[in-house]
């Protein structure tokens, strides 16, 4: 449905990398689609296939008022001929509350605004049973597309590269994308994950997702051993940012023309550059996975009067 050929592997030239003989590449998943951008299509692809296979008529999913996942689900379901139902956190909201919700509604997504208390139940089995009873023709997909099908879709990212990198860097929210990447990791490659949430136990979350997906514990242990968590780059927590981060993103955009966002990819790219500087790394081949987020980034860009996309 969405063409992943648009997601090129692009070489970037940064002076501090060149002088250390480090080759830096970016997997540009942000180029896949305007709304179903970055890891969103990766996570939705097999969820959509599964929904059709189950002969369900639509996808029910969850998100906050500015959820890129909601918008991506609305757009992908629209293209796939499926219905979409979004359960949105905040019963004070309505489809006109912001442009993202407006766009979801325009794309045909039915929006149901629920209280924060009800939203809190979104991972509970009994709540899912209630929802299945109320909406029997809808396949439930967790917030952020964080399930087995999402992870398997993300496994395809590395398959579209030469997969001969020494290091891979990626932003982390629910861990679904990084878990998918980790599954296809070459033995000599180290995965560096950058959680954007403060106090996030990245390895425990990845472990949970692997276990839930039935992956052997030996393989899980081996994968987690090759995963390094760069936990000091959340810049205050989810959705928070500093002028240092925005300055950095503007500088990278000026040099490379690669857009970043302050919620996910900006933090991960900052961590990558800082890691190279602090470890004095040399002679290696690095891949940065661009997971998208540009729509959300544009919102902050306008608010802050900056240019990073
Ligand atoms: C732009 C962007 N990058 C990275 C992530 C983190 O991905 P994950 O939740 O799979 O860890 C997200 C969240 O889905 C995102 O929207």
State the SS3 of 18-60: HCCCEEEEEEEHHHCCCCCCCHHHHHHHHHHHHHHHCCCCEEE
Residue whose CA is at the smallest distance from ligand 1 atom 16: 293
- E-only strand ranges, the chain: 9-12, 22-28, 58-63, 83-89, 110-114, 138-141, 167-172, 190-195, 227-229, 284-290
Q: State in Å: Cα 195 to ligand 1 middle.
A: 10
The C-alpha atoms of residue 70 and residue 150 are separated, in whole angstroms, by: 14
* Average per-residue pLDDT for the chain: 96
Instruction: Please tell me the predicted confidence (pLDDT) of residue 214.
Output: 85
The C-alpha atoms of residue 139 and residue 256 are separated, in whole angstroms, by: 41
Of 259, 87, 264, the closest CA to residue 174 belongs to 264
Q: State in Å: Cα 269 to ligand 1 middle.
A: 14
Residue 275: pLDDT over 90 = yes
Phi, psi of 110 (to 5 degrees): -85, 130
Predicted TM-score of the model (pTM): 0.95
The C-alpha atoms of residue 112 and residue 87 are separated, in whole angstroms, by: 5
Residue whose CA is at the smallest distance from ligand 1 atom 3: 291
Under the banding of pLDDT at 50, 70 and 90, the label for residue 166 is very high
Residue whose CA is at the smallest distance from ligand 1 atom 15: 293
Task: Find out whether the beta carbon of 175 lies less than 6 Å from any atom of ligand 1.
Answer: yes
Under the banding of pLDDT at 50, 70 and 90, the label for residue 76 is very high
**Atom number of ligand 1 nearest to Cα 261:** 1
Q: Who wins on pLDDT, 5 or 294?
A: 5
Q: State in Å: Cα 146 to ligand 1 middle.
A: 10
Q: Count of alpha carbons within 13 Å of 206, Cβ hemisphere only?
A: 29
**Atom number of ligand 1 nearest to Cα 150:** 10
**Atom number of ligand 1 nearest to Cα 294:** 1
Instruction: Please tell me the predicted confidence (pLDDT) of residue 294.
Output: 87
Contact (CB, 8 A) for 233 and 271:
yes
Q: State in Å: Cα 266 to ligand 1 middle.
A: 12
Q: State in Å: Cα 264 to ligand 1 middle.
A: 7
Task: Find out whether the beta carbon of 295 lies less than 6 Å from any atom of ligand 1.
Answer: no
pLDDT digits (tens, 9 = 90+) for 102-157: 999 999 999 999 999 999 999 999 999 999 999 999 999 999 999 999 999 999 99
Task: Find out whether the beta carbon of 142 lies less than 6 Å from any atom of ligand 1.
Answer: no
Instruction: Please tell me the predicted confidence (pLDDT) of residue 112.
Output: 98
Under the banding of pLDDT at 50, 70 and 90, the label for residue 91 is very high
Residue 295: pLDDT over 90 = no
Task: Find out whether the beta carbon of 196 lies less than 6 Å from any atom of ligand 1.
Answer: no
Residue 99: pLDDT over 90 = no
Task: Find out whether the beta carbon of 147 lies less than 6 Å from any atom of ligand 1.
Answer: no
Residue whose CA is at the smallest distance from ligand 1 atom 14: 144
**Atom number of ligand 1 nearest to Cα 176:** 10
pLDDT digits (tens, 9 = 90+) for 12-57: 999 999 999 999 999 999 999 988 999 999 999 999 999 999 999 9
**The token pair that represents 294 in the structure block:** 């540009």
Please report which helix (H) or strand (E) contains residue 281, including its range. none
**What's 271's DSSP letter?**
H
Residue whose CA is at the smallest distance from ligand 1 atom 13: 173
Mean predicted confidence (pLDDT) in 85-102: 95
């Amino acid at each position: 449905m969405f063409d992943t050929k648009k997601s090129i592997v692009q070489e970037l030239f940064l002076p501090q990398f060149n002088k250390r003989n480090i080759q830096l590449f970016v997997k540009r998943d942000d180029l896949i689609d305007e709304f179903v951008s970055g890891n969103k299509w990766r996570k939705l692809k097999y969820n959509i296939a599964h929904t059709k296979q189950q002969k369900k008529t639509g996808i029910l999913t969850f998100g906050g008022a500015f959820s890129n996942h909601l918008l991506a689900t609305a757009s992908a379901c629209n293209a796939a001929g499926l219905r979409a139902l979004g359960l949105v956190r905040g019963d004070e909201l309505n489809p006109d509350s912001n442009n993202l919700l407006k766009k979801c509604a325009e794309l045909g997504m039915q929006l149901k605004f629920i209280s924060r208390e009800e939203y809190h139940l979104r991972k509970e089995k009994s709540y899912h049973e209630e929802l299945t009873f109320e909406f029997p023709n809808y396949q439930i997909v967790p917030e952020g597309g964080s399930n087995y099908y999402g992870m398997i879709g993300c496994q395809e990212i590395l398959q579209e590269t030469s997969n001969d990198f020494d290091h891979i860097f990626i932003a982390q929210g629910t861990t679904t994308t990084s878990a998918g990447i980790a599954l296809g990791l070459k033995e000599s490659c180290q995965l560096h994950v950058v959680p954007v949430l403060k106090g996030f136990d990245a390895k425990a979350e990845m472990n949970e997702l692997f276990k839930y997906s039935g992956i052997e514990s030996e393989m899980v242990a081996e994968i987690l051993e090759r995963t390094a968590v760069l936990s000091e780059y959340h810049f205050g927590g989810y959705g928070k940012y500093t002028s240092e981060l925005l300055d950095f993103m503007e500088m990278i955009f000026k040099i490379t023309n690669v857009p970043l966002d302050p919620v996910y990819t900006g933090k991960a790219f900052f961590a990558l550059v800082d890691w190279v500087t602090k470890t004095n790394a040399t002679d290696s081949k690095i891949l940065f996975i661009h997971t998208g987020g540009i729509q959300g980034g544009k919102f902050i860009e306008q608010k802050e009067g900056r240019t990073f996309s």
